[in-house]
Amino acid sequence: MDGELLARYEAIVGTDVIDQLKQLAHHLQAARVVHVNSTRYGGGVAEILHSMVPLMQALGLNVRWEVISGEEDFFKVTKSIHNALQGHPVEFTEASVRVYEENNRREYEKLKEILEEADFVFIHDPQPAFLITLCPQRKGKWVWRCHIDLSRPYRPVWRYLRNIVSNYDASIFSMPDFTQPLPHPQYIIPPSIDPLTEKNMELPSDEVEGVFERFNLDANKPLVLQISRFDRFKDPLGVIRAGLMAMKFIPFQLVYAGGGAADDPEGEIIYHEVLAAAKDHPDIHILYLPPEAHRTVNALQRAADVVLQKSIREGFGLTVTEALWKGKPVIGGDTGGIRIQVVNHHTGFLVHTPEGAALRIRYLLFYKEKRLEMGRKAHQFVKENFLITRHLRDYLSLMLALISGNGERIEVEARS
């Protein structure tokens, strides 16, 4: 076991949590585990695997992370599958099916032995899902890990994929709302954040305070922040409206920081709409961030007094997790995964309108003690529910459940 890595997490989550992971992993020593996805960098899935794989290895499992590659036509097809699964009608022809399956066949030849011999195979999202149908000699348990909201899929594409996915021994979804009926056990495992990454680690106080000067902000005025792509579902115009309303009653500055306009023509339009709505107001700051500005996002979240995530539609909402972890109460739209993170009146407030958000901004800025208390609860709530260690515990428990069936009991106790 890699004691050093585990010790770094132990310093944050405590001995009991790490002990429990060790006890679960004890039953899985040297188990051959393979994760397969389609990108090493970029996006939430890769981000989680970068943390998850070394942690599993540190606990004594024999883990590999394989990335399937493909030509442009393959990723075009998988992008359309992705969009279809999120509810958008797409053109899905026999040619698309051929491109998808042929690519999986080619990749299978490279991974054949590893996949046949593995005790557990986690296939992430639709891109490599077809691999299972090519591996009749498989020895291990295969799990389809779906990170997508499948609640309203475009049926023709889902019908095709469901046939493939039905071959798996189990599937994992991030939230109950995201699931579809499937003929095998389904597990709900929400995403998580890693407290050791640049996005979430503790920062020196001068780096946090540095954001005021860096972005031309007033260090003596409260800071209300939303970090989001320029996307309608994040309701940036609602954020500006809420800010303008609340500013009539209490002084503060509002920062909307995000990126995403470069490769997204709609993002650019929205960015300009937001600038127009802010009308050069001296207390409203629209920041355009590059995609790798993890430390800057971290510093802004730590510098904020209150964080908004006023989405009108949301997947899980990692920005909420990140802000709660930094001890900030979050005023969030009552939708998607925000609902399971913002416990109304405890870790933040759920709102439905800009008016509602404005009211809660005023409340939280006015009542400092309440704000700090909610922030403490918020941090604790993430510590217990949405860190990578909980995510890993769920994976290990699932693996044990898959191999022990109904028969065997696995005892796990806290030692202290």
Q: Which residues here bind ligand UDP, judged by CB under 6 A?
A: 199, 227-229, 258-259, 289, 293, 297, 315-319, 322
Q: Residue 118: what residue type?
A: A
Nearer to ligand UDP, 222 or 332 (CB): 332
Least Å distance, CB 44 to ligand UDP, is: 6
Nearer to ligand UDP, 106 or 285 (CB): 285
CB 36 within 8 A of CB 121: yes
Least Å distance, CB 371 to ligand UDP, is: 22
Residues 6+ apart with CB under 8 A from 181: none
Nearer to ligand UDP, 180 or 197 (CB): 197
Distance, CA of 57 to CA of 182 (rounded, Å) = 31
A 10 A CB-CB count for 392 gives 22
Distance, CA of 33 to CA of 57 (rounded, Å) = 10
CB 364 within 8 A of CB 370: yes
Least Å distance, CB 399 to ligand UDP, is: 26
Nearer to ligand UDP, 135 or 239 (CB): 239
A 10 A CB-CB count for 254 gives 25
Q: How many Cα atoms occupy the beta-carbon half-sphere of 284 within 13 Å?
A: 19
Distance, CA of 330 to CA of 347 (rounded, Å) = 7
Structure-token pair, residue 284? 């409203």
Least Å distance, CB 199 to ligand UDP, is: 6
Least Å distance, CB 25 to ligand UDP, is: 27
Q: Residue 165: what residue type?
A: V
Least Å distance, CB 237 to ligand UDP, is: 17
Nearer to ligand UDP, 176 or 291 (CB): 291
137 burial (CB, 10 Å; 0-12 / 13-18 / 19+) is: exposed
Query: Of 127, 129, 132, which Cα lies nearest the Cα of 112?
Result: 132
Least Å distance, CB 193 to ligand UDP, is: 8
Nearer to ligand UDP, 128 or 259 (CB): 259
Query: Of 35, 13, 33, which Cα lies nearest the Cα of 25?
Result: 33
Nearer to ligand UDP, 259 or 354 (CB): 259
Nearer to ligand UDP, 121 or 225 (CB): 225
Least Å distance, CB 311 to ligand UDP, is: 8
Least Å distance, CB 83 to ligand UDP, is: 14
Least Å distance, CB 258 to ligand UDP, is: 4
Distance, CA of 327 to CA of 348 (rounded, Å) = 11
Distance, CA of 116 to CA of 136 (rounded, Å) = 8
Query: Of 352, 341, 351, 356, which Cα lies nearest the Cα of 387?
Result: 341
Least Å distance, CB 190 to ligand UDP, is: 11
How far are the Cα atoms of 149, 342, 399 from residue 177, in angstroms, in the given order? 8, 17, 23
Query: 89 by DSSP, 3-state: which?
Result: coil
Distance, CA of 164 to CA of 171 (rounded, Å) = 12
Sheet containing 223-227: order of strands:
284-288, 253-258, 223-227, 306-309, 330-333, 348-351
Going 163 to 166 to 172 to 178, the CA torsion angle's sign is: positive
Nearer to ligand UDP, 120 or 230 (CB): 230
